[in-house]
Structure 1
Amino acid sequence: MTDLAAEPRACFDLSLSVDLHTASMAASEERAVAGVTSGVMGPGETVTWRARHFGWTFTMTSEISEHDPPHRFVDRQVRGPFGRWWHEHAFEAVPGGTRMTDRVDYAAPLGPLGRAVDALVLARYLIRLLEERNAHLVRELGPLHR
């Protein structure tokens, strides 16, 4: 969960920004290479990301498969390295701003080997990436003070 000092609609829209995502993932050199490559994504739109993780270049195409402004949206992998990737972004109005909650359901690739890598490093790595993206949102929108 991340608390932001902005209304849900502002948080919702900024979370759909390809440009913000790219800026927040600069450490992994993530960039949009196809589909929507800048601006705010909408329902049914796709973006193909290319990034370096663990020293390898990965490409993943995701689609905004559910879109319920300003409450929630879901991006899901349509092509890419994961066996499955589903990421829900939920936004709840709270006094002074918005509480944003990420829910992720994924399956590592490569069967038993992928599950072992997931248990050893991948789960923590993905949590850190989400925390970095959310910290970037806080820098843009401000932290919620109670």
Structure 2
Amino acid sequence: MPRIELRTEIKADKEIVFDLSRSIDLHKISTEHTNETAIAGKTSGLIGLDESVTWKAKHFGIYQKLTSKITEFDRPNYFADEMVSGAFSGFKHEHHFAELNGGTLMTDFFDYKSPFGILGKLADRIFLKKYMTDLLTERNRIVKEFAESDKWKQILTE
């Protein structure tokens, strides 16, 4: 099972970074290039424990649906979302937040299992792990951009 680990240093309060990371609205902004839309469950605002969201997005030229649910939640330190249904055989995305030099260290652990057995493992090596890393890196770039400016107020005060 592949694991992606990302660490992002953000010069902002941990509570702000935590809430931006669970914002449906900010997620939509960070995935504009895939036409990602929340179509069921929690479709805007801040997602919380035991809530789910179904996303529709275009990946590899094909529209897909994916439902994930918040399964663990400890504001403002940690939350996890897990796939309920979708293209993967499964995934768990852990979001960790720690204070660091007056700001926040945001650490992501994304564990996933590709479908299709050996073909899925081959896809992981050839392109899927890089594709998923790039998606998560872009998401984190947007979280950082909003948290380190006044843009976060547009998301968290609506």
- What TM-score bracket applies, with the shorter chain setting the length? over 0.9
Counterpart position of 1:121: 127
- 2-structure distance, mates of 1:47, 1:33: 8
Match of 1:14 in 2: 20
1:31-52 CA distance string (max 9 Å, x none)? 1000000000010000000100
2:46 corresponds to which residue?
40
- Matches of 1:14 and 1:141 in 2, distance apart? 8
What code does the residue aligned with 2:36 have?
E
2:88 corresponds to 1:82:
yes
1:142: Cα distance to partner? 1.6
Q: CA deviation at 1:96?
A: 2.1
Which residue is equivalent to 1:95? 101
Matched, 1:69 2:75: yes
| Mapped partners of 1:27, 1:80: distance in 2 | 19
1:132 pairs, out of 118, 131, 138, with 138
Q: Which secondary structure does the structure 1 equivalent of 2:124 belong to?
A: helix
Whichever residue aligns with residue 110 of structure 1, its letter is F
TM-score, length of structure 1 as denominator length:
0.96
Q: Provide the secondary structure at the position in 2 that maps to 1:118.
A: helix
Structure 2: any 5+ residue segments left out of the alignment? 1-6, 150-158
Partners of 2:119 and 2:31 in 1: CA distance: 26
Quote the Cα distance in structure 2 between the aligned partners of 1:21 and 1:132.
Answer: 10
Structure 1 unpaired stretches of 5+ = none
1:50 aligns with 2:56: yes
Q: Post-superposition shift, 1:84?
A: 1.1
Q: How many residue pairs are counted as aligned between the two chains?
A: 143
Q: Considering Cα pairs closer than 8 Å and 6+ residues apart, tell me whether 1 or 2 has the greater RCO.
A: 2
- TM superposition outliers: structure 1 runs of 4+ over 3 Å: none
Q: Name the Cα RMSD after superposition.
A: 0.9
Question: Under a length normalisation based on structure 2, what TM-score does the superposition of the two structures give?
Answer: 0.88
Deviations 1:61-101 (A, max 9, x none): 00000001111000000111111110000000011210000
Residues in 1 aligned to 2:71 and 2:143: alpha-carbon distance in whole angstroms: 22
- Partners in 2 of 1:34 and 1:20 — Cα distance? 17
The structure 2 residue matched to 1:105, chosen from 101, 111, 118, is 111
